[in-house]
Amino acid sequence: MGGATRRRGDELIAAIHQAVLAELEEVGLAKLSMEGVARRAATAKTSLYRRWTSPEEILLDAIVAAFPREEVSASGDDLRGDLVRALQLLLDWGRHPTARAVQAILLERGRYPELADALFSRVFDPAGGRFTATVLHHYAALGEIDSRVITPVVADIGEALTLKYLADTGTEPSVEYLESIVDQAVLPAVGLSPPGTSRAAGPGRPS
């Protein structure tokens, strides 16, 4: 221990977040423990209890810290581009360890219903509920879209089609395919026509 730099504040929290994600991947949700997280983070268990009451709380905190928020373009006049970027943000986040943590929680929703509910109330809902929803509601506030057409089904379209492509092919859709989702599904669903015509493009898409 001699000569070791004592971590504090954000540095310590980041190390604990990394530790809980790594511990989850190794032992699974059922065996997640404060002892395991503390050992992996190389910190005292008392340090954890000063801020969190359980390893699940640490896990949720790690997910909250890493979950992305959609942003609209500075000009606020690029609905199509902002929708495509929102779907790309979904793909980018999907490569992060917290995406696998979310999947682990949802797969065991029956065993951990309160944890799954907290995932929605603390992570998804504050971020808009669905990828593209924040963008759609922003442009509705500007009067570009009728807010009444942004139903839960419409808010789901972009995210659902992006994830379906991943499930069908095992690969990420190209930017061109994301543009096709926006042009052929999202924009028409809110009563808008895409600029020009766009054909679906996604190498490896199963027929």
Q: Which of 44-53, 123-132, 135-144 has the lowest mean pLDDT?
A: 123-132
The number of angstroms, rounded, from the C-alpha of 74 to the middle of its chain's C-alpha atoms is 22
Four-point Cα dihedral 45, 66, 123, 115, nearest 10: -40
Q: Taking Cα atoms as reference points, which of 156, 133, 157 lies closest to residue 145? A: 133
pTM (2 decimals)? 0.81
Longest dimension (CA), the chain: 67
Give 166's contacts (C-beta < 8 A, 6+ positions apart).
Answer: 94, 172, 173
* pLDDT tens profile 150-177: 999 999 999 999 999 999 999 999 999 9
